[in-house]
Amino acid sequence: MQPSLPLTCPTIDEETIAGVAEVLRSGWITSGPKVKAFEAALSTLFGGRPVRAFNSGTATLEVALRLAGVGPGDEVITTPLSWVATSNVILTVGARPVFVDIDPVTRNIDLARIESAISPATKAIIPVDLAGLPVDRDRLYEIAKRHGLRVVEDAAQSMGSSWRGQLIGSIGDLVSFSFHPNKNLTSIEGGCLVMTSEAEAKLAEQYRLQGVVRTGMDGMDVEVLGGKFNLTDVAARVGLGQLVRLDEFTSKRRELVRAYFAQLDMPAVHALGLGLPIADFTQSNWHMFQVVLPENAALTRAEVMAKLQVLGIGTGVHYPAIHRFTLYRSLGHAEGDYPLAEAVASRILTLPLFPSMTLADVSRVTEALIQVLQA
């Protein structure tokens, strides 16, 4: 059997590893100078906007909702096709998630359906850029402005993506990124929140660490209920090493995806009923390459994944439809509520994609996938 090809694998260079060793030797390994340097570098990337780093992209979403004033009795509109954290944070702050079905072409939330879901209780919208393909920011913000809603962009998958030439994070309202190991930029675990003002950034710092405010040498107060969401200097040093290579990583991902399309976007493959994503090589960062398996295929998705695994190829599912989970069914959501999301979620399959892959790896994946589907 050929060597195993994983679904994803972070690229950590030797300079970064050496930098982490320096941090460990420094004795300052929790939040400190490297976190501040990482935040400053991210702020520069996003055009000078205030940025604060956190220990996860889930924490950034929760804090963003709190900054937006979302709480008990409020509703937040989002997509059912995302990692469950997107809606879990809405429940965490005491609000109610209101799902809107997807556009089956982009696989993102269908903006045409949002306004019919808005009620007097609606406080915010959380769009998700699935696989790094940006939601139409112009149309999104026009809707939000017309109804006086805050937008918390779940840009967990969008580091390096852009909208009409503007980097995601450099525009918009509250923008949340994840630096999980499977993301285009990793800090091992972590995330950052881009905000609209220094006042929001100051409040975010309080939410990040138990609500604490320090003054002078020994002054301390707690004004709001915060959590334990701070990033370590070790993680920040990894993030700094990744940030300088972000353009390189994005370019390599696009090269690999072009190869995927060259080998899958052809009549023989279309005849198998395989669904491909939108071929966007300008705005998407290609966080993931996802296909939709044929409807009514002889093999289930699990069987396809198992056969590919035997061939040494890792795959993933991103994501099951959130409203079908037991927790969300207990809140009143039901099978059939969002049929487009359900159809995609039941057949979507994520194929290997990461910067250290080769074009030969892509060929290996596509040949194996076609072989399994034809068999």
User: Does the annotation count 307 as an active-site position?
Assistant: no
pLDDT digits (tens, 9 = 90+) for 78-104: 999 999 999 999 999 999 999 999 999
pLDDT digits (tens, 9 = 90+) for 220-261: 999 999 999 999 999 999 999 999 999 999 999 999 999 999
pLDDT digits (tens, 9 = 90+) for 51-80: 999 999 999 999 999 999 999 999 999 999
Q: Which of 338, 337, 364, 325 is nearest to 91 (CA)?
A: 325
pLDDT digits (tens, 9 = 90+) for 32-45: 999 999 999 999 99
Beta bridge partners of 5: 313
> Taking residues 326-337, what's their average pLDDT?
97
Q: Which of 210, 192, 239 is nearest to 59 (CA)?
A: 192
Q: Is-contact 35 231, C-beta < 8 A?
A: yes
CA distance 366 to 137: 33
pLDDT digits (tens, 9 = 90+) for 336-350: 999 999 999 999 999
> Taking residues 305-309, what's their average pLDDT?
97
CATH architecture of the domain formed by 246-374: Alpha-Beta Complex (3.90)
At 179 the pLDDT is: 98
pTM: 0.96
pLDDT digits (tens, 9 = 90+) for 110-158: 999 999 999 999 999 999 999 999 999 999 999 999 999 999 999 999 9
Q: Which CATH class is domain 14-243?
A: alpha beta
CB atoms within 10 A of CB 29: 16
pLDDT digits (tens, 9 = 90+) for 266-276: 999 999 999 99
Single-letter amino acid code for the residue at 354: F
Catalytic residue among 123, 183, 228, 307: 183
CA distance 347 to 318: 10
At 3 the pLDDT is: 58
pLDDT at 333 over 80: yes
338 upstream amide cis, omega within 30 of 0: no
At 297 the pLDDT is: 86
3-state secondary structure 56-95: CHHHHHHHHHHHCCCCCCCEEEECCCCCCHHHHHHHHCCC
CATH 3.90.1150.10-classified regions of the chain: 246-374
Give one word for 131, left, alpha or beta, with left for phi > 0 and alpha for psi -120 to 50.
Answer: left
Q: How confident is the model at residue 296 (pLDDT cuts 50, 70, 90)?
A: confident
Q: Which of 296, 271, 289, 277 is nearest to 346 (CA)?
A: 296
CATH 3.40.640.10-classified regions of the chain: 14-243
At 1 the pLDDT is: 47
Q: Is-contact 153 172, C-beta < 8 A?
A: yes
Average pLDDT of the residues of the chain:
97
At 375 the pLDDT is: 84
pLDDT at 2 over 90: no
CA distance 57 to 270: 36
